[in-house]
Chain A
Amino acid sequence: MIPKRFDYYSPGSLQEAIRLLRQNGEAKILAGGQSLLPLMKLRLAAPTALVDISKLVNLSHIRDNGDYLAIGALITHDAIEHDVTIRDRFTLINDAVARIGDQQVRNLGTIGGSVCHADPAADLPTALLVADTRFVMEGEGGRRMVPARDFFVDFFSTAVGHDEILTELQVPRLPKRSGSAYVKHSLREADFAIANVGTIVSMEEDGKTCREARIGFGSAGPTPLRAASAEQFLKGRPLDEATISEAAERAIEGANPSPDVHGSREYRLKMIKVLTQRSLGLALSRVGMTGGGAER
Protein backbone atom coordinates (compact mmCIF):
# COMPACT_ATOMS: atom_id res chain seq x y z
CA MET A 1 0.00 0.00 0.00
CA ILE A 2 2.49 2.57 -1.18
CA PRO A 3 1.45 5.58 -3.24
CA LYS A 4 2.89 6.29 -6.67
CA ARG A 5 5.86 8.62 -6.71
CA PHE A 6 5.24 12.36 -6.49
CA ASP A 7 7.13 15.58 -5.85
CA TYR A 8 6.39 17.15 -2.49
CA TYR A 9 6.22 20.89 -1.85
CA SER A 10 5.55 22.70 1.39
CA PRO A 11 5.15 26.33 0.28
CA GLY A 12 5.67 29.22 2.69
CA SER A 13 2.77 31.33 1.45
CA LEU A 14 -0.62 31.02 -0.16
CA GLN A 15 0.68 32.81 -3.29
CA GLU A 16 3.53 30.31 -3.60
CA ALA A 17 1.06 27.45 -3.20
CA ILE A 18 -1.16 28.85 -5.96
CA ARG A 19 1.88 29.26 -8.24
CA LEU A 20 2.91 25.65 -7.61
CA LEU A 21 -0.58 24.47 -8.54
CA ARG A 22 -0.44 26.48 -11.77
CA GLN A 23 2.93 24.97 -12.66
CA ASN A 24 1.86 21.40 -11.93
CA GLY A 25 -1.27 20.43 -13.82
CA GLU A 26 -1.40 17.06 -12.05
CA ALA A 27 -0.74 18.42 -8.57
CA LYS A 28 -3.09 17.97 -5.64
CA ILE A 29 -3.43 19.95 -2.46
CA LEU A 30 -2.52 18.09 0.73
CA ALA A 31 -3.95 19.33 4.03
CA GLY A 32 -4.72 16.75 6.73
CA GLY A 33 -4.46 13.95 4.17
CA GLN A 34 -7.16 11.80 5.77
CA SER A 35 -9.12 11.46 2.51
CA LEU A 36 -6.34 11.92 -0.04
CA LEU A 37 -3.65 9.60 1.33
CA PRO A 38 -5.91 6.53 1.54
CA LEU A 39 -6.93 7.16 -2.10
CA MET A 40 -3.28 7.48 -3.12
CA LYS A 41 -2.34 4.28 -1.28
CA LEU A 42 -5.09 2.44 -3.14
CA ARG A 43 -3.81 4.22 -6.29
CA LEU A 44 -7.28 5.57 -6.99
CA ALA A 45 -5.47 8.90 -7.04
CA ALA A 46 -1.95 9.34 -8.42
CA PRO A 47 -1.02 13.04 -8.46
CA THR A 48 2.49 13.80 -9.76
CA ALA A 49 2.95 16.47 -7.10
CA LEU A 50 1.54 17.30 -3.69
CA VAL A 51 1.33 20.88 -2.46
CA ASP A 52 1.21 20.59 1.33
CA ILE A 53 -0.66 23.63 2.64
CA SER A 54 -0.87 22.33 6.21
CA LYS A 55 2.02 24.51 7.39
CA LEU A 56 0.46 27.72 6.06
CA VAL A 57 -0.49 30.21 8.73
CA ASN A 58 -3.70 32.29 8.71
CA LEU A 59 -5.94 29.39 7.67
CA SER A 60 -6.49 28.00 11.17
CA HIS A 61 -8.88 30.49 12.70
CA ILE A 62 -12.39 30.34 14.10
CA ARG A 63 -13.59 33.93 14.33
CA ASP A 64 -16.97 35.36 15.26
CA ASN A 65 -17.55 38.27 12.90
CA GLY A 66 -21.02 39.07 14.22
CA ASP A 67 -23.05 38.42 11.08
CA TYR A 68 -21.18 35.25 10.35
CA LEU A 69 -18.68 32.81 11.76
CA ALA A 70 -15.42 32.51 9.82
CA ILE A 71 -13.76 29.10 9.88
CA GLY A 72 -10.27 28.72 8.38
CA ALA A 73 -9.97 25.86 5.91
CA LEU A 74 -7.20 24.18 7.91
CA ILE A 75 -9.18 23.89 11.14
CA THR A 76 -9.33 20.23 12.18
CA HIS A 77 -12.54 18.40 13.03
CA ASP A 78 -11.22 17.95 16.56
CA ALA A 79 -10.69 21.71 16.94
CA ILE A 80 -14.22 22.40 15.69
CA GLU A 81 -15.64 19.85 18.11
CA HIS A 82 -13.99 21.65 21.03
CA ASP A 83 -15.04 25.15 19.94
CA VAL A 84 -17.67 26.50 22.32
CA THR A 85 -19.16 29.03 19.87
CA ILE A 86 -19.78 26.34 17.28
CA ARG A 87 -21.16 23.95 19.87
CA ASP A 88 -23.55 26.55 21.30
CA ARG A 89 -24.60 28.48 18.21
CA PHE A 90 -23.99 26.25 15.19
CA THR A 91 -24.85 22.99 16.86
CA LEU A 92 -25.44 21.03 13.66
CA ILE A 93 -21.80 21.59 12.67
CA ASN A 94 -20.71 20.27 16.04
CA ASP A 95 -23.02 17.27 15.55
CA ALA A 96 -21.48 16.65 12.11
CA VAL A 97 -17.80 16.79 13.04
CA ALA A 98 -18.42 14.61 16.08
CA ARG A 99 -19.58 11.87 13.70
CA ILE A 100 -16.60 12.03 11.31
CA GLY A 101 -14.34 8.96 11.27
CA ASP A 102 -12.56 8.30 14.55
CA GLN A 103 -10.45 10.37 16.96
CA GLN A 104 -7.24 9.91 14.98
CA VAL A 105 -8.94 11.03 11.75
CA ARG A 106 -10.53 14.02 13.51
CA ASN A 107 -7.12 15.03 14.87
CA LEU A 108 -5.62 15.46 11.39
CA GLY A 109 -8.58 15.87 9.03
CA THR A 110 -9.54 19.45 8.14
CA ILE A 111 -12.85 21.10 7.27
CA GLY A 112 -11.39 22.36 3.98
CA GLY A 113 -10.11 18.93 3.03
CA SER A 114 -13.41 17.25 3.84
CA VAL A 115 -15.54 19.62 1.75
CA CYS A 116 -13.08 19.68 -1.19
CA HIS A 117 -13.04 15.88 -1.22
CA ALA A 118 -16.84 16.23 -1.52
CA ASP A 119 -17.90 12.69 -0.79
CA PRO A 120 -21.73 12.84 -1.05
CA ALA A 121 -22.00 10.58 2.01
CA ALA A 122 -19.72 12.74 4.16
CA ASP A 123 -20.95 14.61 7.23
CA LEU A 124 -19.81 18.22 6.82
CA PRO A 125 -21.09 18.88 3.28
CA THR A 126 -24.71 18.23 4.34
CA ALA A 127 -24.44 20.33 7.51
CA LEU A 128 -22.70 23.22 5.73
CA LEU A 129 -25.22 23.20 2.88
CA VAL A 130 -28.07 23.49 5.37
CA ALA A 131 -26.27 26.34 7.15
CA ASP A 132 -26.06 28.34 3.86
CA THR A 133 -22.28 28.46 4.18
CA ARG A 134 -20.24 30.67 1.83
CA PHE A 135 -17.03 29.18 0.51
CA VAL A 136 -14.10 31.56 0.02
CA MET A 137 -11.33 30.56 -2.37
CA GLU A 138 -8.22 32.27 -3.62
CA GLY A 139 -6.41 31.96 -6.91
CA GLU A 140 -4.22 33.92 -9.29
CA GLY A 141 -7.14 36.23 -10.09
CA GLY A 142 -7.81 36.99 -6.44
CA ARG A 143 -10.56 36.00 -4.04
CA ARG A 144 -14.04 34.79 -4.86
CA MET A 145 -16.93 33.50 -2.84
CA VAL A 146 -19.34 30.72 -3.80
CA PRO A 147 -22.62 29.90 -2.01
CA ALA A 148 -23.08 26.35 -0.77
CA ARG A 149 -25.65 25.44 -3.41
CA ASP A 150 -23.04 26.11 -6.13
CA PHE A 151 -20.05 24.67 -4.29
CA PHE A 152 -20.84 20.97 -4.55
CA VAL A 153 -20.92 20.24 -8.27
CA ASP A 154 -20.93 16.46 -8.65
CA PHE A 155 -19.58 13.27 -7.06
CA PHE A 156 -16.23 14.25 -5.50
CA SER A 157 -16.12 17.54 -7.38
CA THR A 158 -16.54 21.13 -6.29
CA ALA A 159 -16.41 24.67 -7.66
CA VAL A 160 -12.75 25.01 -6.60
CA GLY A 161 -10.58 25.39 -9.71
CA HIS A 162 -7.32 23.48 -10.13
CA ASP A 163 -5.17 26.46 -9.19
CA GLU A 164 -7.45 27.75 -6.49
CA ILE A 165 -7.32 27.08 -2.76
CA LEU A 166 -10.30 27.08 -0.41
CA THR A 167 -9.28 29.39 2.42
CA GLU A 168 -12.32 30.09 4.55
CA LEU A 169 -15.87 29.00 5.24
CA GLN A 170 -18.36 31.63 6.34
CA VAL A 171 -21.41 30.44 8.23
CA PRO A 172 -24.13 33.09 8.56
CA ARG A 173 -25.44 33.65 12.04
CA LEU A 174 -28.71 31.85 12.69
CA PRO A 175 -31.83 33.97 13.30
CA LYS A 176 -33.19 34.38 16.83
CA ARG A 177 -35.16 31.47 18.26
CA SER A 178 -33.40 28.92 16.09
CA GLY A 179 -32.34 25.38 16.78
CA SER A 180 -30.24 23.09 14.61
CA ALA A 181 -29.29 19.43 14.39
CA TYR A 182 -27.46 16.92 12.20
CA VAL A 183 -28.19 13.20 12.43
CA LYS A 184 -26.68 10.26 10.61
CA HIS A 185 -27.31 6.58 10.16
CA SER A 186 -24.36 4.29 9.58
CA LEU A 187 -23.63 0.67 10.46
CA ARG A 188 -20.56 1.48 12.50
CA GLU A 189 -19.68 4.78 14.15
CA ALA A 190 -16.77 5.56 11.88
CA ASP A 191 -18.52 4.66 8.63
CA PHE A 192 -19.81 6.98 5.96
CA ALA A 193 -23.53 7.67 6.13
CA ILE A 194 -26.21 5.41 4.71
CA ALA A 195 -28.37 8.49 5.19
CA ASN A 196 -27.76 11.84 6.84
CA VAL A 197 -29.98 14.84 7.46
CA GLY A 198 -29.30 18.33 8.79
CA THR A 199 -31.96 20.84 9.81
CA ILE A 200 -32.30 24.37 11.14
CA VAL A 201 -35.64 25.62 12.43
CA SER A 202 -36.32 29.27 13.27
CA MET A 203 -39.49 30.06 15.18
CA GLU A 204 -41.82 33.04 15.39
CA GLU A 205 -42.17 34.95 18.66
CA ASP A 206 -45.07 32.72 19.72
CA GLY A 207 -42.57 29.88 19.92
CA LYS A 208 -44.94 27.57 18.05
CA THR A 209 -45.04 28.75 14.43
CA CYS A 210 -42.16 27.95 12.16
CA ARG A 211 -40.75 31.08 10.52
CA GLU A 212 -38.17 29.25 8.46
CA ALA A 213 -37.05 25.65 8.15
CA ARG A 214 -33.93 24.47 6.38
CA ILE A 215 -33.56 20.79 5.61
CA GLY A 216 -30.80 19.04 3.71
CA PHE A 217 -29.58 15.51 3.23
CA GLY A 218 -26.63 13.60 1.78
CA SER A 219 -25.88 10.13 0.55
CA ALA A 220 -28.79 10.31 -1.90
CA GLY A 221 -27.25 11.58 -5.13
CA PRO A 222 -24.02 13.11 -6.43
CA THR A 223 -24.13 16.07 -4.04
CA PRO A 224 -25.91 16.91 -0.79
CA LEU A 225 -29.34 18.39 -1.47
CA ARG A 226 -31.84 20.75 0.09
CA ALA A 227 -35.42 19.56 0.54
CA ALA A 228 -37.12 22.63 -0.94
CA SER A 229 -40.68 21.33 -0.87
CA ALA A 230 -40.46 20.27 2.79
CA GLU A 231 -38.89 23.61 3.72
CA GLN A 232 -41.68 25.49 1.95
CA PHE A 233 -44.35 23.34 3.61
CA LEU A 234 -43.15 24.08 7.15
CA LYS A 235 -42.95 27.83 6.68
CA GLY A 236 -45.73 29.51 8.69
CA ARG A 237 -47.05 26.22 10.08
CA PRO A 238 -46.86 25.02 13.66
CA LEU A 239 -44.12 22.46 14.21
CA ASP A 240 -45.86 19.40 15.62
CA GLU A 241 -45.92 15.67 15.05
CA ALA A 242 -48.24 15.94 12.03
CA THR A 243 -46.38 18.70 10.20
CA ILE A 244 -42.98 17.16 10.91
CA SER A 245 -44.24 13.85 9.58
CA GLU A 246 -45.60 15.54 6.42
CA ALA A 247 -42.28 17.40 5.97
CA ALA A 248 -40.44 14.09 6.19
CA GLU A 249 -42.64 12.66 3.41
CA ARG A 250 -41.87 15.68 1.24
CA ALA A 251 -38.15 15.63 2.09
CA ILE A 252 -37.46 12.65 -0.13
CA GLU A 253 -38.91 14.25 -3.25
CA GLY A 254 -35.50 15.16 -4.68
CA ALA A 255 -33.68 12.16 -3.22
CA ASN A 256 -32.15 9.60 -5.54
CA PRO A 257 -30.09 7.19 -3.46
CA SER A 258 -28.28 4.31 -5.16
CA PRO A 259 -28.76 0.84 -3.74
CA ASP A 260 -25.64 -0.94 -2.53
CA VAL A 261 -24.58 -3.63 -0.08
CA HIS A 262 -25.52 -1.38 2.85
CA GLY A 263 -29.09 -0.81 1.82
CA SER A 264 -31.65 -0.81 -0.98
CA ARG A 265 -33.00 2.37 -2.51
CA GLU A 266 -36.27 1.95 -0.56
CA TYR A 267 -34.45 1.45 2.73
CA ARG A 268 -32.35 4.56 2.16
CA LEU A 269 -35.42 6.66 1.29
CA LYS A 270 -37.15 5.41 4.41
CA MET A 271 -34.09 6.34 6.49
CA ILE A 272 -34.08 9.88 5.09
CA LYS A 273 -37.70 10.23 6.24
CA VAL A 274 -36.93 8.86 9.69
CA LEU A 275 -33.83 11.02 10.08
CA THR A 276 -35.71 14.13 8.89
CA GLN A 277 -38.23 13.61 11.68
CA ARG A 278 -35.52 13.00 14.26
CA SER A 279 -33.45 15.93 13.12
CA LEU A 280 -36.40 18.35 13.12
CA GLY A 281 -37.44 17.12 16.57
CA LEU A 282 -33.93 17.57 17.91
CA ALA A 283 -33.52 21.01 16.33
CA LEU A 284 -36.87 22.09 17.78
CA SER A 285 -35.88 20.88 21.24
CA ARG A 286 -32.78 23.06 21.00
CA VAL A 287 -34.62 26.30 20.16
CA GLY A 288 -34.00 28.87 22.86
CA MET A 289 -31.32 26.83 24.60
CA THR A 290 -27.80 28.15 24.34
CA GLY A 291 -27.32 24.96 22.41
CA GLY A 292 -29.98 26.08 19.96
CA GLY A 293 -27.55 28.23 18.14
CA ALA A 294 -29.23 31.63 18.29
CA GLU A 295 -29.71 33.61 21.44
CA ARG A 296 -26.85 35.47 22.97
Chain B
Amino acid sequence: MSGKNVRVAKADELTELSMRINGEECRGEVEPRTLLVFFLRDELNLTGTHVGCDTGHCGACTVVMDGKAVKSCMILAVQAAGADILTVEGLADDDKLNPIQKAFTENHGLQCGFCTPGLLMTTLALLRENQQPTEADIRRGIEGNLCRCTGYVNVVKSVKAAARALSEARKESSQ
Protein backbone atom coordinates (compact mmCIF):
# COMPACT_ATOMS: atom_id res chain seq x y z
CA MET B 1 0.00 0.00 0.00
CA SER B 2 1.56 3.24 -1.06
CA GLY B 3 -1.28 5.70 -0.53
CA LYS B 4 -4.33 6.32 1.55
CA ASN B 5 -7.64 4.55 1.85
CA VAL B 6 -10.83 6.28 0.90
CA ARG B 7 -12.83 6.40 4.16
CA VAL B 8 -16.14 7.82 2.93
CA ALA B 9 -17.41 8.43 -0.61
CA LYS B 10 -20.89 9.84 -1.18
CA ALA B 11 -23.07 8.28 -3.87
CA ASP B 12 -23.62 11.41 -5.96
CA GLU B 13 -20.28 13.12 -5.37
CA LEU B 14 -16.89 12.69 -6.93
CA THR B 15 -14.21 11.52 -4.54
CA GLU B 16 -10.52 12.11 -5.07
CA LEU B 17 -8.24 9.13 -4.73
CA SER B 18 -4.77 8.04 -5.61
CA MET B 19 -2.96 4.80 -6.27
CA ARG B 20 0.42 3.78 -7.57
CA ILE B 21 0.15 2.63 -11.17
CA ASN B 22 3.16 1.24 -13.00
CA GLY B 23 5.42 2.94 -10.48
CA GLU B 24 3.82 6.37 -10.69
CA GLU B 25 1.47 7.99 -8.21
CA CYS B 26 -1.80 8.60 -10.09
CA ARG B 27 -4.70 10.75 -8.91
CA GLY B 28 -8.24 11.02 -10.15
CA GLU B 29 -11.86 11.54 -9.21
CA VAL B 30 -14.46 8.79 -9.15
CA GLU B 31 -17.97 7.97 -8.07
CA PRO B 32 -18.12 5.17 -5.48
CA ARG B 33 -19.59 2.89 -8.15
CA THR B 34 -16.74 3.38 -10.62
CA LEU B 35 -15.00 0.08 -11.28
CA LEU B 36 -11.22 0.03 -11.30
CA VAL B 37 -11.13 -0.84 -15.00
CA PHE B 38 -13.09 2.30 -15.94
CA PHE B 39 -10.90 4.44 -13.68
CA LEU B 40 -7.85 3.11 -15.54
CA ARG B 41 -9.35 3.48 -19.00
CA ASP B 42 -11.56 6.58 -18.82
CA GLU B 43 -9.92 8.67 -16.13
CA LEU B 44 -6.24 7.82 -16.71
CA ASN B 45 -6.48 6.88 -20.39
CA LEU B 46 -4.68 3.58 -19.75
CA THR B 47 -6.66 1.73 -22.41
CA GLY B 48 -4.33 -1.26 -22.59
CA THR B 49 -6.48 -2.95 -19.95
CA HIS B 50 -9.42 -4.32 -21.92
CA VAL B 51 -13.10 -4.71 -21.07
CA GLY B 52 -14.26 -8.04 -22.46
CA CYS B 53 -17.35 -9.55 -20.90
CA ASP B 54 -17.70 -7.01 -18.06
CA THR B 55 -19.25 -9.80 -15.97
CA GLY B 56 -16.15 -11.25 -14.36
CA HIS B 57 -15.77 -14.25 -16.61
CA CYS B 58 -13.23 -13.44 -19.31
CA GLY B 59 -10.22 -11.99 -17.48
CA ALA B 60 -9.32 -9.48 -20.26
CA CYS B 61 -9.31 -6.73 -17.61
CA THR B 62 -6.80 -8.52 -15.34
CA VAL B 63 -4.24 -6.29 -13.65
CA VAL B 64 -1.75 -7.06 -10.89
CA MET B 65 -2.73 -5.44 -7.58
CA ASP B 66 -0.30 -5.63 -4.65
CA GLY B 67 1.32 -8.62 -6.33
CA LYS B 68 -1.85 -10.58 -7.11
CA ALA B 69 -3.77 -10.93 -10.39
CA VAL B 70 -7.26 -9.45 -10.05
CA LYS B 71 -10.06 -8.68 -12.47
CA SER B 72 -10.34 -4.90 -12.55
CA CYS B 73 -14.04 -5.11 -13.49
CA MET B 74 -14.67 -6.95 -10.20
CA ILE B 75 -13.26 -4.32 -7.87
CA LEU B 76 -14.25 -0.72 -7.17
CA ALA B 77 -11.71 2.03 -7.77
CA VAL B 78 -12.30 3.26 -4.19
CA GLN B 79 -11.35 -0.20 -2.90
CA ALA B 80 -8.07 0.01 -4.81
CA ALA B 81 -7.17 3.45 -3.42
CA GLY B 82 -3.65 3.31 -2.05
CA ALA B 83 -2.83 0.07 -3.81
CA ASP B 84 0.12 -0.71 -6.04
CA ILE B 85 -1.19 -1.57 -9.52
CA LEU B 86 0.62 -2.93 -12.54
CA THR B 87 -1.07 -2.80 -15.94
CA VAL B 88 0.08 -3.97 -19.36
CA GLU B 89 1.45 -0.48 -20.05
CA GLY B 90 3.99 -1.09 -17.28
CA LEU B 91 5.51 -4.23 -18.81
CA ALA B 92 7.77 -3.01 -21.62
CA ASP B 93 10.89 -0.98 -20.97
CA ASP B 94 10.43 1.71 -23.66
CA ASP B 95 10.82 -0.25 -26.91
CA LYS B 96 12.16 -3.34 -25.23
CA LEU B 97 9.47 -5.94 -24.65
CA ASN B 98 9.20 -7.66 -21.31
CA PRO B 99 10.29 -11.37 -21.55
CA ILE B 100 6.64 -12.42 -21.17
CA GLN B 101 5.52 -10.18 -24.04
CA LYS B 102 8.42 -11.46 -26.12
CA ALA B 103 7.50 -15.08 -25.41
CA PHE B 104 3.87 -14.50 -26.47
CA THR B 105 5.06 -12.79 -29.67
CA GLU B 106 7.52 -15.53 -30.59
CA ASN B 107 5.18 -18.43 -29.81
CA HIS B 108 2.01 -17.15 -31.45
CA GLY B 109 0.40 -16.79 -28.03
CA LEU B 110 -2.12 -14.41 -29.57
CA GLN B 111 -4.11 -13.90 -32.71
CA CYS B 112 -6.59 -11.05 -32.40
CA GLY B 113 -4.87 -9.89 -29.22
CA PHE B 114 -7.94 -8.80 -27.29
CA CYS B 115 -7.33 -11.15 -24.35
CA THR B 116 -3.57 -10.59 -24.40
CA PRO B 117 -3.22 -7.77 -21.83
CA GLY B 118 -5.10 -9.88 -19.30
CA LEU B 119 -3.15 -13.04 -20.11
CA LEU B 120 0.17 -11.19 -19.82
CA MET B 121 -0.73 -9.84 -16.37
CA THR B 122 -2.01 -13.22 -15.17
CA THR B 123 1.21 -14.81 -16.44
CA LEU B 124 3.31 -12.19 -14.65
CA ALA B 125 1.64 -12.94 -11.29
CA LEU B 126 1.76 -16.69 -11.93
CA LEU B 127 5.50 -16.71 -12.71
CA ARG B 128 6.28 -14.57 -9.69
CA GLU B 129 4.69 -17.17 -7.43
CA ASN B 130 5.81 -20.23 -9.32
CA GLN B 131 9.04 -19.90 -11.29
CA GLN B 132 8.89 -23.38 -12.82
CA PRO B 133 5.22 -24.16 -13.41
CA THR B 134 4.16 -27.48 -14.88
CA GLU B 135 1.71 -27.52 -17.77
CA ALA B 136 -1.06 -28.31 -15.25
CA ASP B 137 -0.02 -25.33 -13.10
CA ILE B 138 -0.14 -23.08 -16.16
CA ARG B 139 -3.53 -24.33 -17.34
CA ARG B 140 -4.95 -23.91 -13.87
CA GLY B 141 -3.33 -20.49 -13.52
CA ILE B 142 -4.85 -19.10 -16.72
CA GLU B 143 -8.28 -20.66 -16.16
CA GLY B 144 -9.73 -17.18 -15.54
CA ASN B 145 -8.58 -15.83 -18.91
CA LEU B 146 -10.66 -16.69 -21.95
CA CYS B 147 -9.10 -16.68 -25.41
CA ARG B 148 -11.38 -17.40 -28.36
CA CYS B 149 -8.63 -17.58 -31.01
CA THR B 150 -5.72 -19.74 -29.96
CA GLY B 151 -7.27 -22.77 -28.27
CA TYR B 152 -4.70 -22.10 -25.51
CA VAL B 153 -2.03 -24.43 -26.95
CA ASN B 154 0.22 -21.58 -27.98
CA VAL B 155 -0.67 -19.58 -24.89
CA VAL B 156 0.59 -22.43 -22.70
CA LYS B 157 3.68 -22.68 -24.90
CA SER B 158 4.25 -18.94 -24.48
CA VAL B 159 3.97 -19.11 -20.69
CA LYS B 160 6.47 -22.00 -20.65
CA ALA B 161 8.85 -20.02 -22.85
CA ALA B 162 8.45 -16.96 -20.62
CA ALA B 163 9.25 -19.06 -17.53
CA ARG B 164 12.42 -20.31 -19.24
CA ALA B 165 13.44 -16.83 -20.36
CA LEU B 166 12.92 -15.36 -16.90
CA SER B 167 14.88 -18.16 -15.26
CA GLU B 168 17.77 -17.63 -17.75
CA ALA B 169 17.69 -13.93 -16.96
CA ARG B 170 17.83 -14.69 -13.24
CA LYS B 171 20.83 -16.99 -13.76
CA GLU B 172 22.65 -14.34 -15.76
CA SER B 173 21.99 -11.61 -13.26
CA SER B 174 23.18 -13.78 -10.38
CA GLN B 175 26.48 -14.56 -12.09
Which A residues form the contact surface with B (CB < 8 A)? 1-12, 30, 33-34, 37-38, 41-42, 48, 50, 52, 54-55, 78, 101-105, 107-108, 189-190
Contact = CB atoms under 8 A, between A and B. Distances in A.
Given A78-B68, A107-B68, A190-B143, A7 B7 contact: no
Interface residues of B, number: 36
Given A33-B75, A37-B74, A105-B144, A2 B69 contact: no
A10 B8 contact: yes
Nearest to B34: A2
Count chain B CB atoms within 10 A of each CB in A2, A42, A104, A189 and give the residue with the most.
A104
Contacts of A189: 140, 143
Nearest to B57: A190
A8 B11 CA distance: 7
A167 to B, nearest CB: 20
A50 B32 contact: yes
Nearest to B144: A102
A52 to B, nearest CB: 6
B12 interface: yes
B56 A5 contact: no
Contacts of A3: 33
Contacts of B54: 1, 41
Majority SS of interface residues in chain A?
A: loop
B74 A34 contact: yes
Contacts of B35: 2, 37, 41
A2 B68 contact: no
25 contacts: A1-B54, A1-B55, A2-B35, A4-B33, A7-B11, A8-B6, A8-B8, A8-B9, A8-B32, A9-B8, A10-B8, A10-B78, A34-B74, A37-B74, A37-B76, A38-B56, A41-B73, A102-B144, A103-B69, A103-B125, A103-B143, A104-B59, A104-B69, A104-B122, A105-B144
Nearest to A42: B55
Interface string B1-17: 00001111111100100
A189 to B, nearest CB: 5
